């Protein structure tokens, strides 16, 4: 199948992160087995989802080392979005292919799968690998499971290209992503007795204002990196829920926020001042009314940043095959940071525009797919010299 055929097939699998991705994984595994290859799967805990990894050996039979083409199979929900066509049925209109995941990032996966026969036919001087993951969109949960299995099997790929949509430009660094929740436990009373209660929403609001002020200090007081599209670390509250009725002082208010850090910064820059404000200012005031009042701050997880590294050979290789030679740095996070932590030199480079990701009527331009096909063809040839 060519790239358009593959992309149509991939989009038809509803791999929204809350669902299983096994139907897609099994179809791809069947194709690869039909090509005489031996893919293996690494499942999540309840085996409802799986990563897929396959190696196209070098001409001398070597399977270790080499280059990974990596992509995530899950997509974000379409709930509440106004689509002009079925999001899980690819549709081509005016030089664009529409469908959920078209840009983020089934377009890259489709191009890679279409290139498998060329990979097999080439006299590779080092192996090529394909890595498909689950649950990237909900915290890059699948890639660590796959990397652990790689290490268990004694495989040590040297390089990785993560095909997130970069308009086929080379991205050499991205920010990390930390996500937090906060639960403010106040004291509920009738609203006519307000002084006897502790208003969780009011204390949450004070903490949110503090977080917003801290976000400003991240911009003003810390070292920036002008090579990033957003050159400073960012912090923002994105959800909030609280209260039960207009005549009840609210007992509980919950909100969530995220922190996107430049590679040279860590979570301590935000956790420590927030914890200090809770411990030294807010909780003592709340507890003058009721000692049981308190605030829970939880750090739910993180996707590591991908710093620009010393991957000179990979940078030069990719730079020679793309039109735009400038090294890009981006604010969003990918599985690239996890591959980099595992000692695998990584760049981000794939078809489509990140601005289309997660939106209704997501699309990828057919020209971008053609450019990715050409890039992969040249990359395979470069591995065959």
Active site amino acids: 74, 136
Tell how far CA 385 is from the center of its chain.
Answer: 33
Contact predicate 71/105, CB 8 Å: yes
- Find the helix or strand (DSSP H, E) in which 52 lies: strand 50-56
* Residue 95, C-beta contacts closer than 8 angstroms, at least 6 positions apart: 365, 366, 367
291: tokens are 């000692």
Of 195, 203, 205, 183, residue with least CA distance to 283: 203
Of 317, 329, 357, 7, residue with least CA distance to 165: 357
Tell me if residue 41 falls in helix, strand or coil: strand
285: tokens are 């005031």
Tell me if residue 222 falls in helix, strand or coil: coil
The DSSP 8-state label assigned to residue 278 in this structure reads I
* Residue 85, C-beta contacts closer than 8 angstroms, at least 6 positions apart: 91, 98, 99, 361
185: tokens are 């436990």
* Residue 47, C-beta contacts closer than 8 angstroms, at least 6 positions apart: none
Contact predicate 27/13, CB 8 Å: yes
Whole-angstrom Cα distance, residue 115 to residue 108? 11
The DSSP 8-state label assigned to residue 106 in this structure reads I
Whole-angstrom Cα distance, residue 208 to residue 375? 46
Whole-angstrom Cα distance, residue 170 to residue 172? 6
Contact predicate 362/87, CB 8 Å: yes
Of 324, 327, 362, residue with least CA distance to 348: 327
């Amino acid at each position: 199948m060519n790239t358009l055929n593959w992309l149509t097939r991939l989009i038809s699998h509803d791999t929204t992160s809350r669902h299983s991705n096994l139907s897609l994984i099994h179809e791809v595994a069947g194709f690869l087995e039909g090509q005489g290859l031996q893919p293996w799967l690494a499942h999540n805990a309840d085996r409802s989802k799986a990563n897929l990894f396959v190696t196209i050996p070098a001409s001398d039979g070597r399977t270790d080392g080499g280059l990974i083409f990596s992509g995530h199979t899950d997509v974000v929900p379409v709930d509440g979005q106004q689509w002009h066509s079925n999001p899980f049925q690819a549709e081509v209109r005016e030089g664009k292919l529409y469908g959920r995941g078209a840009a983020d990032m089934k377009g890259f996966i489709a191009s890679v799968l279409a290139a498998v026969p060329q990979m097999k036919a080439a006299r590779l001087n080092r192996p090529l690998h394909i890595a498909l993951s689950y649950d990237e969109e909900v915290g890059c949960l699948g890639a660590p499971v796959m990397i652990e299995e790689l290490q268990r099997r004694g495989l040590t790929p040297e390089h990785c290209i993560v095909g997130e949509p970069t308009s086929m430009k080379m991205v050499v660094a991205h920010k990390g992503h930390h996500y937090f929740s906060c639960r403010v436990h106040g004291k509920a009373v009738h609203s006519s007795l307000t002084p006897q209660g502790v208003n969780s929403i009011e204390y949450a609001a004070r903490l949110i204002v503090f977080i917003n002020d801290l976000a400003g200090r991240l911009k003003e007081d810390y070292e920036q990196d002008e090579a990033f599209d957003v050159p400073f670390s960012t912090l923002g509250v994105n959800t909030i829920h609280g209260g039960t009725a207009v005549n009840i002082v609210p007992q509980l208010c919950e909100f969530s926020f995220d922190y996107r850090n430049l590679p040279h910064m860590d979570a301590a820059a935000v956790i420590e001042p927030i914890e200090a404000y809770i411990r030294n200012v807010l909780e003592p005031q709340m507890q003058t009314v009721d000692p049981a009042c308190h605030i829970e701050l939880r750090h739910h997880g993180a996707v590591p940043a991908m710093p620009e590294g010393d991957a000179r050979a990979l940078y030069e290789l990719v730079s020679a095959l793309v039109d735009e030679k400038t090294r890009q740095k981006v604010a969003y996070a990918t599985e690239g940071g996890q591959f980099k932590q595992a000692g695998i030199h990584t760049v981000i480079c794939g078809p489509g525009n990140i601005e289309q990701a997660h939106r209704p009527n997501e699309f990828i331009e057919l020209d971008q797919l053609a450019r990715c096909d050409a890039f992969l063809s040249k990359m395979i040839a470069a591995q065959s010299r």
